[in-house]
């Protein structure tokens, strides 16, 4: 039998410990486990009762009063201590009794409540979600993962799918969602393909008409690739794009070991490539903003998101915004530098993370930026590892395996391309709480930099035994970097003079001659 919510609230004959479930025909009662959809529907109906603009924040508070906070190991406290988010994340059933309390408080106290620093959440929906290909970083199929010939062949197919997805995004009327999805599709899927020389028609990033962009890639460091995307029609004042590629982990990809090595810096993933190659990055950013063009947008996924964050921290005058998708977060030094920036500059950093994304929640110690959290309607739970399970070894190994397997889709998928999802902006108080607890979390991957030397030796060994296809490109990139350094020193020499600068110039000349000899 189907009911409306007022009927469930008023009917005294209903079993108070049955659970509510939703269908197209209405609500019904069940003893079985229920879906996340029923929680979303009830939450949104409560919002219609609580009428202010921040209705969702008020309904979250009501839900907290009824359900209460509870510390659980499989969720970050941002979710576990929020009554509604905990229920939604773990798909917990809502009993008739609890529903009646929530419904009653929404009617009685909705106008009296004041928000307590909670930002409004909203439920997103993509009606044509089944039409999107949602191309991921990982090459699909077995052969493309291990053989470059098959990977390159598959890349042509994937680029056509990416073009189809972008063509659908162009038709969206919501400018913010259109801009987000454009950058997400480019960072999650396109940046891992061979884009050099390609032209893609992109949705407008300034609310004008679609613009074709030409792509050119740069190998700035071992395993670290960036991509400059330049609009071909400058009269539309579209910004250039600077995309940072994430980690390559499969043998068919050209710089797997170097890409992994870039994640192992003590100060966090992406810090060493930026520290060594900032002159090249600056030259690329300047090229994107020539001839009166607006400042470029920087964006990246995973390791690329970390590099985009570094560019925001140290090169913010040269960019308009930075978008980081599922990035590992910064360590303490990056956190301190971020909070020395002006509020206007801090607002430039947009971070998007999925609930079960392993790098965002387990790598790094400090969350920064304007953070948006996505919760999918379908989710496989995280299995926390306890200390005593390490002593038994196999329980910990079992949990680790399933956590990694479940985390890969969460890390690579774009949840706003799913049929339904929940969008949760994090307040500064929630970010601060996460930062306090993160350093004490047992399963935080703080030991990753310890593999740095081992990975470096392995990388050198493999490149001696096997041919590294990007060797010539990398050497030319290093020569370009030395030439940029030389030009900076010559400009300084003209202004100041000095024997120390002259000695450094001679050392750079020696390094360049060595690289040319290796070429």
Quote the pLDDT of residue 207.
Answer: 75
In 347-498, alpha helices (H): 358-362, 387-392, 394-412, 428-438, 452-465, 471-495
Quote the pLDDT of residue 495.
Answer: 59
Closest of 180, 405, 387, 156 to residue 299, by C-alpha: 180
Q: Name beta bridge partners: 370.
A: 350
Encoding tokens for residue 484?
């940029």
> Where do the structural domains in the chain lie, given as residue ranges?
5-120, 125-383+410-459, 470-518
The DSSP secondary-structure symbol of 125 reads E
Say if residues 305 and 325 touch (Cβ distance below 8 Å).
yes
Quote the pLDDT of residue 115.
Answer: 56
Quote the pLDDT of residue 494.
Answer: 65
3-state SS, one letter per residue, for 6-50: HHHHHCCCCCCCCEEEEECCEEEEECCCCCHHHHHHHHHHHHHHC
Quote the pLDDT of residue 449.
Answer: 81
Q: At what angle do helices 175-188 and 148-170 cross, to 10 degrees?
A: 180
Quote the pLDDT of residue 258.
Answer: 83
> 299-346 pLDDT, tens per residue?
999 999 999 999 999 999 999 999 999 999 999 999 999 999 999 999
Say if residues 227 and 288 touch (Cβ distance below 8 Å).
no
- Give the other-Cβ count within 10 Å of 345's Cβ: 14
CA torsion through residues 409, 415, 419, 422, sign? positive
Radius of gyration of the chain (CA): 25
Quote the pLDDT of residue 236.
Answer: 61
The Cα–Cα gap between 452 and 250 comes to 19
Say if residues 296 and 289 touch (Cβ distance below 8 Å).
yes
> 210-268 pLDDT, tens per residue?
999 999 999 888 888 999 999 987 666 889 999 999 998 888 887 788 888 888 888 88
The Cα–Cα gap between 309 and 444 comes to 20
Please state which CATH number belongs to domain 125-383+410-459. Answer: 3.40.50
Encoding tokens for residue 229?
């995307």
Say if residues 151 and 140 touch (Cβ distance below 8 Å).
no
Q: pLDDT (tens digit, 0 to 9) for every residue of the chain, 519 residues total?
A: 888 899 999 988 999 889 999 998 889 999 888 889 999 999 999 888 887 777 888 888 889 889 887 777 778 888 888 889 999 988 889 999 999 999 998 887 655 555 566 788 999 988 888 899 999 888 888 888 888 888 888 889 999 999 999 999 999 888 999 999 999 999 999 999 989 999 999 998 887 789 999 999 998 888 889 999 999 876 668 899 999 999 988 888 877 888 888 888 888 898 989 998 899 999 999 999 887 789 999 999 999 999 999 999 999 999 999 999 999 999 999 999 999 999 999 999 999 999 888 888 888 889 999 999 999 888 877 777 777 777 777 777 887 788 777 778 888 889 899 889 999 999 998 899 888 888 777 667 777 788 888 887 888 787 777 777 777 777 788 888 888 887 877 777 665 666 777 777 787 778 778 877 876
- CA angle at 298 for the pair 240 and 131, rounded to the nearest 5°: 85
Burial degree of 14 (CB within 10 A; 0-12, 13-18, 19+) = middle
Locate tokens 């810096």: which residue? 265
Encoding tokens for residue 295?
């400042």
> 470-481 pLDDT, tens per residue?
777 777 888 888
Stated pTM of the model: 0.91
């Amino acid at each position: 039998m189907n009911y409306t919510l007022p009927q469930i609230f008023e009917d005294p004959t209903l079993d108070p410990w049955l659970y509510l479930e939703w269908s197209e025909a209405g609500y019904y009662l069940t003893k079985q486990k229920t879906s996340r959809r029923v929680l979303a529907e009830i939450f949104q109906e409560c919002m219609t009762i609580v009428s202010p603009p921040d209705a969702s924040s008020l309904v979250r508070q009501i839900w907290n009063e009824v359900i209460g906070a509870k510390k659980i190991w499989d969720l970050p406290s941002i979710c576990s201590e929020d009554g509604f988010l905990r229920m939604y994340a773990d798909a917990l059933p809502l009993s008739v009794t609890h529903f009646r309390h929530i419904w009653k408080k929404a009617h009685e106290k909705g106008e009296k409540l004041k928000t307590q620093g909670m930002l409004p959440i909203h439920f997103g929906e993509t009606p044509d979600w089944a039409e999107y290909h949602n191309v991921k970083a990982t090459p699909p199929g077995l052969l493309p993962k291990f053989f470059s010939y098959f990977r390159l062949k598959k890349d042509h197919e994937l680029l056509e799918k990416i073009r189809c997805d972008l063509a659908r995004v162009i038709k969206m009327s919501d400018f913010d969602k259109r801009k987000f999805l454009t950058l997400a599709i480019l960072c999650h899927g396109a940046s891992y393909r061979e884009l050099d020389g390609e032209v893609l028609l992109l949705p407008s990033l300034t609310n004008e008409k679609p613009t074709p962009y030409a792509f050119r890639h740069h190998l700035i460091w071992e395993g670290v690739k960036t991509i400059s995307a330049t609009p071909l029609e400058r009269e539309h004042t579209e910004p250039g794009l600077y995309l940072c590629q994430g980690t390559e982990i499969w043998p068919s990809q050209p710089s797997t070991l170097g890409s992994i090595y870039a994640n192992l810096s003590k100060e966090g993933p992406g810090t060493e490539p930026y520290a060594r190659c900032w002159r090249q990055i600056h030259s690329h950013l300047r090229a994107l903003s020539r001839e009166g063009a607006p400042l470029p947008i920087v964006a990246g996924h995973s390791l690329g998101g970390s590099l985009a964050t570094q560019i925001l921290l140290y090169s913010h005058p040269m960019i308009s915004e930075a978008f980081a998708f599922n990035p590992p977060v910064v360590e303490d030094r990056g956190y301190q530098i971020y909070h020395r920036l002006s509020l206007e500059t801090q607002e430039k950093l947009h971070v998007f993370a999925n609930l079960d994304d392993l790098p965002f929640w387990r790598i790094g110690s400090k969350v920064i930026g304007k953070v948006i959290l996505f919760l999918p309607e379908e989710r496989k739970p995280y299995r926390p590892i306890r200390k005593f399970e390490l002593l038994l070894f196999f329980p910990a190994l079992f949990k680790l395996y399933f956590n990694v397997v479940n985390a890969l889709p969460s890390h690579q998928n774009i949840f706003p391309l799913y049929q339904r999802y929940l969008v949760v902006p994090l307040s500064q108080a929630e970010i601060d709480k996460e930062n306090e607890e993160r350093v004490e979390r047992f399963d935080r991957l703080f030991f990753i930099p310890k593999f740095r030397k081992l990975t470096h030796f392995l990388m050198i060994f493999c490149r001696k035994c096997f041919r590294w296809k990007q060797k010539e490109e990398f050497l030319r990139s290093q020569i370009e970097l030395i030439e940029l350094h030389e030009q900076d020193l010559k400009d300084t020499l003209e202004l100041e003079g000095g024997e120390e600068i002259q000695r450094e110039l001679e050392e750079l000349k020696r390094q360049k001659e060595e690289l040319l000899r290796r070429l």
